[in-house]
Amino acid sequence: MIFSRFHFPFLRGNKKRKDILKSPTVCVGDFIFLTLYARGYITRSEPEKGGFSMRNEFFAVTKTSVYHALHEEGKAFPRVEKIALKGESAFPMGYILGGGMMLAICKSLIMYVPEGGGPMNTTFERKIELVHSSFWGDHSSSIIALFKTKEEAFGCFAEKDLVPYDPRWRKETKEVLDEIGDGHPRFEICRYPGFGLVS
């Protein structure tokens, strides 16, 4: 299934659910996200008054690249852009990962569509290990570390002998994951043994 465009007026402001469900849909993508929202699988990213704010931005370092991941309120997709490159890579400098509505943080970054959990692809599933790989999009190579700032990410990228989930930056990586948290509207942390960055 391919979705060409998405409109999400319900992600802006503080509309009540009954008003959201009356919003006109203009494509299949709207229907999917309205349904996800109504069932509580997807929520608005802004916290309620006094609530906890999830991290909507981070930087991921791989052996060949640095990616800037950003979720902006009201946007249909997270933006994951390659902002640094050294050596050979499947994607050029400036490439934006596509092929999905959500970003899974696994041993690599994977864009995906949160559906396909049932035998007839009629259910919604955001845990990427339960989503059929036909609903996966672009992905990065193995993650070295995650950072809150571009400066930290570039500092790591300049070091030698980088290894996946590098022990030198595990503290920074875990801090980013903790601040993203579970249930983020566009980022999904995979904790499946052998597939997740952390389990």
pLDDT digits (tens, 9 = 90+) for 169-185: 999 999 999 999 998 99
- Single pTM value for the model: 0.73
Per-residue b/e over 14-53, b at no fewer than 16 CB within 10 Å?
eeeeeebeeeeeeeebbebbbebbeeebbebbbeeeeeee
Six token digits for residue 43: 């929520």
What per-residue confidence (pLDDT) applies to 75?
Answer: 87
How does the average pLDDT of the chain come out, rounded? Answer: 79
What per-residue confidence (pLDDT) applies to 123?
Answer: 65
The more confidently predicted of residues 83 and 29 is 83
> Helices (DSSP H) in the chain: which residue ranges?
17-20, 28-38, 150-157, 170-180
What per-residue confidence (pLDDT) applies to 6?
Answer: 36
The more confidently predicted of residues 42 and 184 is 184
Name 112's bridge partners: 102, 136
Classified as helix, coil or strand, 151 is: helix
Average pLDDT over residues 64-75: 94
Six token digits for residue 40: 């509580």
Q: CA 101 from chain center: how many Å?
A: 8
